[in-house]
Amino acid sequence: MALALRAANESAAEVVSAGCAEQRNLSGEVGDYNISCQNVSVPRAARVREMDSFRILLYSLIFLLSVFGNLLIIVVLVLNKRMRTVTNSFLLSLAVSDLMMAVFCIPFTFIPNILEDFIFGGAMCKTVSYFMGISVSISTFSLVAIAIERYSAICNPLKSRAWQTRSHAYRVIAATWLVSLLLMVPYPVFSLLKSFPKANGTVTHTCRMDWPSGQAEQTWYVLLLFTLFFIPGVVMIVAYGLISRELFRGMQFELGQSRETTGQKNGVGRAAAGSSNDDDDGCYIQVAARAKAERARSNTSEAKLQAKKRVIRMLMVIVALFFVCWMPLYSANTWKAFDPKSAYAALSGAPISFIHLLSYTSACVNPIIYCFMNLRFRKALLSTFACCCRGRLCRWWCQRKEGGGEDGIGATSMATSMATSMSKFSYTTVSTAGTC
């Protein structure tokens, strides 16, 4: 995942550098980022102003969706005791980290990009850089933890039940936060607020990493590339691939069972016809009732198959979005570490801004994928806010919820008790019924 923090905080320098390069009036050492130029193209400045309004709209939309979406998840998971499951514990940590990403990454990246000046001071430069790194790291580790937890619950249900507890989840979450806090220590250590002159004679500032050597910088960004992108991506692909294979096997198993049931039902139908032609001794009623039960069981099996297909598609979407959101940012970050001149020439200004925006989109996509597309979470969301108000509609909803609550609890406990005695293929149906 992450951190073109260097690129994010050097956006002002990039814009000026690109403008100077167009006029071939660039003077200064690119490696030291002491950039100055004599003039900037007026047509280019007009194009930048036109692009600014579009970027402001997109950044504002992503920021609002990320903040409100993750806040809703935090409120629902904290207030609803029934939602405090192992998976939801990781989702709560993911929501907190995504909220941190939205608060610390988006404004402090976009505002300096638009103003071409980091106006928040040296202390905020170190603080913001550190929290940027922490939020992205925790978000990545949370996604990996969710993938491993799902794999264990679905592919190894009996073994995982011994250790998949909330206390174990809390320990894993604490470990991810601690590792992230330690991993991102170089950001507050090496982040500095630097000044350089602009074409109009004023001085602008940029928050950037001041590494002791180029090799140290390259080592750092390669470490981030593997730790927060490549290895997590591989783990998610393997985990969700094995889950998809298990679900596919379960689908094949249930299709075979369905064919056998269909054959038996046809035999029952013929027997019923024969019975109706013989003496009417009540056997027809029993056979008809049995056939009706078989049809209901067949409909349930078909619903399970459709649910598994949706889960497989969802897993593919999760992996695809992870790479789509973060691959451009990590690629640009690594490129700048090894070849800054060509990277700045190609990515300065709007391109790097939209690459950042694409990575920040994950902060609003994660709540939609992991929670808002889940039926149980949507019901919990509605009940949480409906029961907080006192209107007639809210009272009606609460009464309806209380009336149907016992059935919901009974269905949940029944599914849980059945899971211990079901086969591996049948267990996947219960395990993948919802993530929240």
Token pair recorded at residue 256: 């075979």
Domain assignment of residue 88, yes or no: yes
Domain assignment of residue 153, yes or no: yes
Predicted confidence band of residue 403 (pLDDT cuts 50, 70, 90): low
CB 332 within 8 A of CB 373: no
Q: What is the dihedral of CA 386, 387, 393, 396, to 10 degrees?
A: 130
Who has greater pLDDT, 435 or 301? Answer: 301
Domain assignment of residue 29, yes or no: yes
CB 38 within 8 A of CB 139: no
Instruction: Please compute the mean of the pLDDT values over residues 407-434 and round it to a whole number.
Output: 38
Domain assignment of residue 81, yes or no: yes
Amino acid present at 26? L
Question: pLDDT per residue over 78-114, tens digit each?
Answer: 888 888 888 889 999 999 999 999 999 899 988 888 8
Domain assignment of residue 346, yes or no: yes
Predicted confidence band of residue 135 (pLDDT cuts 50, 70, 90): very high
Domain assignment of residue 79, yes or no: yes
Domain assignment of residue 335, yes or no: yes
Cβ-defined contacts of 416-420 (< 8 Å, 24+):
419/157, 420/161
Number of domains in the chain: 1
Domain assignment of residue 406, yes or no: no
Bin 422: left if φ > 0, else alpha if -120 < ψ < 50, else beta: beta
Instruction: Please compute the mean of the pLDDT values over residues 232-247 and round it to a whole number.
Output: 91
CA triple 175-178-179, angle to 5 deg = 85
**Domain span holding position 114:** 5-244+309-398
DSSP string, 279-310: --SSHHHHHHHHHHHHHHHHHHHHHHHHHHHH
The rounded distance, in Å, linking the Cα atoms of 368 and 374 is: 9
Name the strand (E) or helix (H) holding 137.
helix 122-155
The residue behind tokens 């996604």 is 143
What's the CATH number where 151 sits?
1.20.1070.10
> Of 232, 112, 109, nearest to 180 (Cα)?
232
Above 50 in pLDDT, residue 7? no
